[in-house]
DNA sequence: GGCTACATGTAACCCGTTACATGATTTC
DNA sequence: GAAATCATGTAACGGGTTACATGTAGCC
């Protein structure tokens, strides 16, 4: 449909066997940039990455903790981060972004964003297939989703109060969109509940 | 073909003798229910599934067409759909939901929805990591995202006009949430653009 | 009669999820 | 000092993405 831009993004491979060897072998994905981005705030272990992510973007885009162990390793292989292994104890690994890593991140930030936003909402799927469901099921669905989005929005409100002066401007903006989104969806389900309640049983 | 059946023969053993044994071997995921749901509207080939999905939920939750070829095969192995292979020509396969399939779908619709909604928005990620980016980059990001969400919302408006009397009530509701969501995000980026424009260069 | 868009399928690889496993630290 | 929680990692599997491949229909 609107995919006119797609063919453009097919980066012509080196093709040359005398590969310049500057690394950057595998194409980076969203997970990669999340790790790079978090590391751009300072070195961290995988666990710390997990925490940083969990408190922020993990709210709307979740990552399994194992991803945050795997991905830095891949990035290290590509030379975008370095790994320092602690000597004693559990030999825990701290990752730090390299100049090349920063460059990759900057490129990504500068390049056009073509991907469409994906909203993976099981409740919404269910609503679409509701034809055969009972009214009570729908009512329950609406009630649950309402509660869920309301909780999340409230959580954001609280978070904002806590981080307001330490977080950076764009991070607060991110939070704000998160809130607007949750409030929108919360209201949708509430409206739906009210509509259902106004109906003859 | 050989590959589709292989995983099936590795069916996890009964393990528990008290197991109801009604089949339903592998756990179903969202993709499964999307296929079941679409088939609950009537039999279809994979291509038709692709179309049904593309015009509806594919707008916010995308599926690669290959998934819509693989998944029905899995469901067939589980007895939730049947497959009829056309005799002549390309021997194309039509899938039809079985009673067990309808039952599985109904169970899913009735059961509580625990998953959190995931919003996979690359633009939002970028905003979060913008600290190092130039103001022009941010402006461009906002402009692009604004346009993208605006287009999508407009598309929904048009769609609504087209399908208003043929679509079922809950499907229209789904569309409505889609619209509300897109308008919310559209406005967010617009506000951000205006904020940027009000600033000293 | 060649071109383009539609339709149908397969294969390989990567990565995301889930489960397993265990070491440190606090708590009681 | 046992139990729980935090912290750190690995392995296996399934499935999602991408690319490949080719058939069919309509157009000009």
* Confidence check: pLDDT of B23 > 60: no
Average pLDDT, chain B: 86
Q: Where are the alpha helices (DSSP H) in A56-121?
A: 67-77, 99-110
pLDDT category of residue B24 using cuts at 50, 70 and 90: low
Contact (CB, 8 A) for B133 and A106: yes
pLDDT category of residue B7 using cuts at 50, 70 and 90: very low
Task: Looking at the structure, tell me whether residues B101 and B150 fall in a common domain.
Answer: no
| A16 within domain boundaries | no
Which of these, B40, B42, B47, B38, lies nearest to B65 by C-alpha position? B47
| Better-predicted residue by pLDDT, B26 or B188 | B188
pLDDT of residue A122: 97
| B25 within domain boundaries | yes
Task: Looking at the structure, tell me whether residues A43 and A78 fall in a common domain.
Answer: yes
A vs B, Cβ pairs < 8 A, gives 196
Token reading at B131: 């600290």
**Using a CB-CB distance cutoff of 8 angstroms, which residues of chain B are in contact with residue A171?**
128
Task: Looking at the structure, tell me whether residues B59 and B153 fall in a common domain.
Answer: no
Domain that holds residue A186: 122-197
Q: What is the DSSP letter of B116?
A: P
Name the most confidently modeled range: A6-15, A159-168, B21-30, B43-52: B43-52
Element at A54 (helix H, strand E): helix A46-55
| B116 within domain boundaries | no
pLDDT of residue A132: 78
For C23, nearest residue by CA–C1' is A90
Average pLDDT, chain A: 87
pLDDT of residue A153: 95
Token reading at B20: 């109801």
Task: Looking at the structure, tell me whether residues B130 and B38 fall in a common domain.
Answer: no
Token reading at B170: 């809950």
Task: Looking at the structure, tell me whether residues B129 and B55 fall in a common domain.
Answer: no
Indicate the number of domains in chain A: 2
Token reading at B127: 């905003």
pLDDT of residue B90: 73
Those nucleotides of strand D lying less than 7 Å from any protein Cβ are 7-12, 14-19, 23-24
* Confidence check: pLDDT of B3 > 60: no
**Using a CB-CB distance cutoff of 8 angstroms, which residues of chain B are in contact with residue A152?**
116
pLDDT category of residue B133 using cuts at 50, 70 and 90: confident
Element at A146 (helix H, strand E): helix A135-163
| B158 within domain boundaries | yes
Task: Looking at the structure, tell me whether residues B9 and B103 fall in a common domain.
Answer: yes
CATH of the domain at A34: 1.10.10.10
| Least CB–CB distance from A125: residue in B57, B125, B192 | B57
| B117 within domain boundaries | no
Which of these, B114, B108, B97, B94, lies nearest to B33 by C-alpha position? B108
| A18 within domain boundaries | no
pLDDT category of residue A12 using cuts at 50, 70 and 90: very low
Task: Looking at the structure, tell me whether residues B138 and B75 fall in a common domain.
Answer: no
**Using a CB-CB distance cutoff of 8 angstroms, which residues of chain B are in contact with residue A37?**
125, 128-129
Coil, strand, or helix at residue B80? coil
Return the residue matching tokens 């625990």. Answer: B114
For C14, nearest residue by CA–C1' is A26
Contact (CB, 8 A) for B144 and B126: no
pLDDT of residue B163: 87
Q: pLDDT digits over B77-93, tens only?
A: 999 999 999 776 678 89
Give A12's Cβ-side CA count (13 Å radius): 2
Among B63, B90, B110, identify where a domain stops.
B110
* Confidence check: pLDDT of B17 > 90: no
Distance from CA of A63 to the nearest CA of B (A): 11
Task: Looking at the structure, tell me whether residues A37 and A105 fall in a common domain.
Answer: yes
Is there a contact between A109 and B102 if contact means CB atoms under 8 Å apart? Answer: no
Token reading at B58: 């594919």
Distance (Å, whole) CA A80 – CA A42 = 14
Token reading at B35: 């296929």
| B115 within domain boundaries | no
Task: Looking at the structure, tell me whether residues B70 and B147 fall in a common domain.
Answer: no
Which of these, A87, A121, A97, A123, lies nearest to A32 by C-alpha position? A97
pLDDT of residue B87: 73
Token reading at A124: 């919404």
Q: pLDDT digits over B173-187, tens only?
A: 999 999 999 999 999
Which of these, A167, A34, A40, A58, lies nearest to B132 by C-alpha position? A40
Is there a contact between A148 and B174 if contact means CB atoms under 8 Å apart? Answer: no
Among A80, A109, A138, identify where a domain stops.
A109
Task: Looking at the structure, tell me whether residues B185 and B132 fall in a common domain.
Answer: yes
Q: pLDDT digits over A65-108, tens only?
A: 999 999 999 999 999 999 999 776 778 999 999 999 999 999 99
pLDDT of residue A83: 96
| A1 within domain boundaries | no
Least confident of A17-21, A159-163, B162-166: A17-21
* Confidence check: pLDDT of A157 > 90: yes
pLDDT of residue A6: 31
Token reading at A88: 């004693």
Task: Looking at the structure, tell me whether residues A193 and A143 fall in a common domain.
Answer: yes
Q: pLDDT digits over B89-125, tens only?
A: 678 899 999 999 999 999 999 999 989 999 999 999 9
Task: Looking at the structure, tell me whether residues B24 and B89 fall in a common domain.
Answer: yes
Name the most confidently modeled range: A5-9, A90-94, B194-198: B194-198
Is A183 near strand D, with its CB below 7 A from some atom of it? no
Rg from Cα positions in chain A: 22
């Amino acid at each position: 449909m609107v995919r006119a831009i797609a063919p453009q993004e097919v980066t012509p491979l080196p093709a040359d066997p005398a590969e310049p060897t500057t690394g950057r072998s595998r194409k980076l994905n969203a997970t990669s940039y999340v790790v790079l981005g978090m590391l751009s705030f300072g070195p961290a272990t995988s666990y710390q990455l997990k925490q940083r992510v969990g408190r922020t973007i993990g709210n709307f885009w979740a990552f399994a903790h194992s991803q945050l162990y795997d991905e830095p390793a891949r990035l290290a292989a590509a030379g975008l981060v370095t790994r320092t292994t602690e000597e004693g104890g559990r030999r825990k690994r701290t990752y730090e972004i390299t100049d090349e890593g920063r460059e990759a991140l900057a490129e990504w930030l500068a390049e056009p964003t073509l991907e469409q936003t994906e909203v993976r909402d099981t409740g919404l799927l269910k609503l679409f297939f509701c034809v055969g469901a009972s009214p009570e099921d729908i009512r329950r669905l609406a009630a649950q989703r309402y509660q869920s989005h309301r909780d999340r929005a409230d959580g954001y409100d609280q978070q904002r109060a806590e981080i307001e002066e330490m977080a950076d401007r764009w991070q607060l903006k991110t939070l704000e969109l998160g809130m607007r989104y949750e409030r929108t969806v919360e209201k949708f389900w509430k409206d739906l509940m009210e509509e259902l309640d106004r109906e003859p049983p």
